[in-house]
Amino acid sequence: MERRYALFIAISLAAVLGSQVLRTTLFPKPEEPSVPAEVATDTTTGDVATADADADAGAEKETAANGEESAAKTVDATASVGAASPETLKAAAAAARRRVSLGSLDPNGPTGMLVTLSSRGGTVERIELAGEQFHDQDDRGAYIGHLAADVVPEGCRLGVVGPGTPAARSGLKTDDVIVRVGDSSTPDPQSLAAVLARSKAGRSLSVTFRRPSGETLSPEQTVELQTTRRPLEVIRPEFDAAPVADVAAGFHDPLSFRLGLASRDGSDRPADGELPGQELQAIDWETEVAHGGRVVRFRRKLAGGLQVTKEYRLVTAADDPVGQVDEDRAGRYRLQLRVTFQAAEKTRLEYALDGPNGLPTEGWWYAARVSRSWGGLGVRDVAMRFVGEPTALISSMTLADEDSIPPASAVLAGKPLSFAGVDALYFASGLIPAVEGDEVPALAEVEPLVVGEVPEAARRKLVNVSCRLLSQELELEPGTPVTHRFDIFAGPKRPSLLATFGQPRAAMDDLVYYGWFGWVARPMITILHVLHAIVRNYGIAIILLTVIVRGAMFPISRKQAVSSQKMQVLQPEMKAIAEKYKNDPQKRTMATQELWRKHKYNPAGGCVLVFFQIPIFMGLYRSLATDVELREAPLFTSAIRWCSNLAAPDMMVDWSGFMPSFLVRPEGWLGPYLNLFPLLTIGLFLWQQKLFMPPAVDEQAKMQQQVMKYMMFFMALMFFKVPCGLCLYFIASSLWGIAERLLLPTTKPGAALAGAGGPTVVDAVASRPVDKAAATRKRRKRR
Q: Write out pLDDT tens, residues 42-76.
A: 333 334 333 333 333 333 333 333 333 333 333 33
Q: Minimal CA–CA distance to 668: which of 139, 17, 9?
A: 17
**Opening angle at CA 373, ends 370 and 379, nearest 5:** 40
Close Cβ partners of 478 (under 8 Å, ≥ 6 residues apart):
343, 344, 345, 346
Average pLDDT over residues 211-216: 85
Instruction: Look at 710 and 449; give whichever has higher pLDDT.
Output: 449
* Tens-place pLDDT, residues 232-248: 999 999 998 899 988 88
Q: What is the pLDDT of residue 94?
A: 43
Determine which of 71-75, 419-423, 764-768 has the lowest per-residue pLDDT on average: 71-75
Give the pLDDT band of residue 351 (cuts 50, 70, 90): very high
Least confident of 323-332, 335-344, 444-453: 323-332
Q: DSSP letters of 528-583?
A: HHHHHHHHS-HHHHHHHHHHHHHHHTHHHHHHHHHHHHHHHHHHHHHHHHHHHTTT
Task: Among 210-224, 319-333, 374-388, name the one with the lowest average pLDDT.
Answer: 319-333
Predicted pLDDT at 350: 95
775 pLDDT higher than 80: no
Distance CA 468, CA 408 (A): 9
| The pLDDT value given to residue 57 | 34
**pLDDT tens-digit profile of 667-694?**
888 889 999 999 999 888 888 877 777 6
- Span of 141-155, 229-243, 535-549, 686-700 with lowest mean pLDDT: 686-700
Q: Please, which pLDDT band fits residue 92 given cuts at 50, 70 and 90?
A: very low
Of 506, 540, 512, the C-alpha closest to 628 is 512
User: For residue 335, which of 313, 302, 319 has the smallest C-alpha distance?
Assistant: 313
pLDDT at 697: 58
Q: Considering only CA atoms, which of 72, 65, 68, 67 is closest in space to residue 51?
A: 72
- Helices 676-692 and 724-742 pack at an angle, to 10 degrees, of 30
pLDDT (0 to 100) of residue 61: 34
In terms of C-beta density within 10 A (0-12 exposed, 13-18 middle, 19 or more buried), how is residue 40 classed? buried
**Greater model confidence, 527 or 83:** 527
Q: Give the distance, in angstroms, between the CA of residue 332 and the centroid of all CA atoms in the same chain.
A: 21
Tell me what pLDDT residue 75 has.
Answer: 35
Would you say 512 and 518 are in contact if contact means Cβ atoms under 8 Å apart?
A: no
Coil/strand/helix, residue 280:
coil
pLDDT greater than 60 at residue 82:
no
Determine the pLDDT at residue 175. Answer: 92
Looking at per-residue pLDDT, the higher value among 535 and 401 belongs to 535
Query: pLDDT value at position 718?
Result: 79
- 3-state SS of 226-265 is ECECCECEEECCEECCEECCCCCCCCCCCCECCEEEEEEC
> Mean pLDDT, to the nearest integer, of 313-330?
55
Q: For residue 225, what is the enclosing H or E element?
A: strand 221-226
Instruction: Tell me which range, 180-194, 335-349, 398-412, 558-572, is most confidently predicted by mean pLDDT.
Output: 335-349
What is residue 783's predicted lDDT score, i.e. its pLDDT?
60
User: For the chain, how far is it from start to end, CA to CA, in angstroms?
Assistant: 46
Mean residue pLDDT across the chain: 80
3-class state of residue 645 by DSSP:
coil
492-530 pLDDT per residue, tens: 999 999 999 999 889 999 999 988 888 888 988 999 999
Res. 570: pLDDT tops 70: yes
* pLDDT of 80 strictly over 80: no
Q: How many CB atoms lie within 10 A of CB 329?
A: 17
The least confident of 12-21, 250-259, 470-479, 548-557 is 12-21
Does 167 or 580 have the greater pLDDT score?
167
pLDDT confidence band for 84 (50 / 70 / 90): very low
Residue with the larger pLDDT of the pair 402 and 384? 384
Distance CA 485, CA 491 (A): 20
Which tens digit of pLDDT belongs to each residue from 154-181?
899 999 999 999 999 999 999 999 999 9
Q: Does residue 34 surpass a pLDDT of 50?
A: no
The answer, yes or no, to whether residue 143 has pLDDT greater than 90, is yes
pLDDT at 215: 79
pLDDT of residue 343: 94
- How big is the CA angle at 410 (ends 467 and 314), to the nearest 5 degrees? 45
Report which DSSP code applies to 761. H
Residue 203: C-alpha distances to residues 28, 105, 196, 208, 422 (Å): 42, 18, 11, 16, 35
